[in-house]
Structure 1
């Protein structure tokens, strides 16, 4: 594991714990007696923090770091195996998918990315509802975001907020909302879909074979899962 990857992992863990407790960077910095700038740099992975500072930051949130070693990418294998063993309905509920879809009834959209893969039984990690939207509906989508406390992902600062909300503006099509995180693929026309059914509900999704051609991350994880399934047991 390179120091850059470790720094990113530590920064992500710190940000997730802070957001889970609904603390601002300034509030956490005050509790841990460090500067807000230091918290921001750590969360962005730009600074390799000292152990005492890290311990103070996590202790301020009543948690502690646990250090372990593992083979490279072993966490992916463990995560894929864990997801493969869980019911799809449970993962749908955890993602909050139905709640998001119920709030987007007037916006033509289809499910894509990891969300579509999940609904077709693929054991890929999904941490946001992924949809495809038409460019012609971007203003309506922006209005929906404004009404539901949307904040757009700021790649420079690696946090939500501080950039234009509208999909037409440059940047990642990724937002936090009152219903969770949403990622959008903006297109001229919606892609071809199939219907899958879970828990008495129909979902329009991009077919898995198409996802494997257009979604490199999902394709890599699927290949990894299939390789593990076909490998002889030791």
Structure 2
């Protein structure tokens, strides 16, 4: 694991623990006796902190760091193995996809990215419903976000909120809503899809072969999954 990767992981750990306790960065900084700007930079993975400062941040939240080693990116392999052992219906429930799709009725969209791969049977980790959405429907999507308490991901601060909702504004196309998190791929025309069915419900998804050509994240996870299949002889 490179130092950059380690800083990113540690920053994410601190951010996750802070969110669990409903603390702002300013509140955590005050509890730990450090500068709020330093907490923000660390959570964003922009700057490493010293071990004593990291320990103070964690201790302020009544947790401590446990050190271990594992093969590179082993957490991804473990997650893939865990998902592969679960029925696909359980994987779909974990993504909360049906609840979101039942409410995304104001504009056409299709499922893409890792979410599309999961619906086609690939046990790849998914952190949000991923949809392809036309630019011409961006204003409809913005109104939907406003109605459903949407907050856009602010990469600068490493949290949701504080930036414009509109897809036209600069920033990552990633939002939290009252029904779950959504990543969007904005495009001029929706990509070609295939239909898959689970539990009596149909889903329009971008096919795996297209994901491997156009979506680097999904393609990498699909390669890892197939590599593990080959290694296990399945």
- Under TM normalisation by the shorter chain, which class is it? over 0.9
**TM-score, structure 1 normalization:** 0.92
After TM superposition, give the deviation of residue 59 of structure 1 in Å.
2.6
After TM superposition, give the deviation of residue 8 of structure 1 in Å.
0.8
**Which stretch of the first structure deviates more once superposed, 57-66 or 40-49?**
57-66
d(CA) in 1 for partners of 2:46, 2:189: 39
Q: Is the 8 A contact 2:132 2:190 kept in 1?
A: yes
The CA deviation string for residues 189-233 of structure 1, in whole angstroms up to 9 with x for no partner, is 211111111222211111111111111221122122212212367
Counterpart position of 2:82:
82
Counterpart position of 2:171:
171
Counterpart position of 2:37:
37
Q: Where does the alignment leave 5 or more consecutive residues of structure 1 unmatched?
A: none
**Which stretch of the first structure deviates more once superposed, 113-122 or 60-69?**
60-69
Q: Where does the alignment leave 5 or more consecutive residues of structure 2 unmatched?
A: none
Number of matched pairs: 233
d(CA) in 2 for partners of 1:182, 1:26: 27
After TM superposition, give the deviation of residue 175 of structure 1 in Å.
1.1
Please, what is the CA RMSD of the aligned residues? 1.7
Q: Is the 8 A contact 2:152 2:163 kept in 1?
A: yes
Counterpart position of 1:63:
63
After TM superposition, give the deviation of residue 154 of structure 1 in Å.
2.2
After TM superposition, give the deviation of residue 56 of structure 1 in Å.
2.5
After TM superposition, give the deviation of residue 36 of structure 1 in Å.
1.6
The CA deviation string for residues 77-120 of structure 1, in whole angstroms up to 9 with x for no partner, is 22211121112221222221111111112221111001100100
d(CA) in 2 for partners of 1:19, 1:229: 36
The CA deviation string for residues 43-81 of structure 1, in whole angstroms up to 9 with x for no partner, is 012232222322222233232221111122222222211
SS at match of 1:231: helix
Q: Is the 8 A contact 2:106 2:140 kept in 1?
A: no
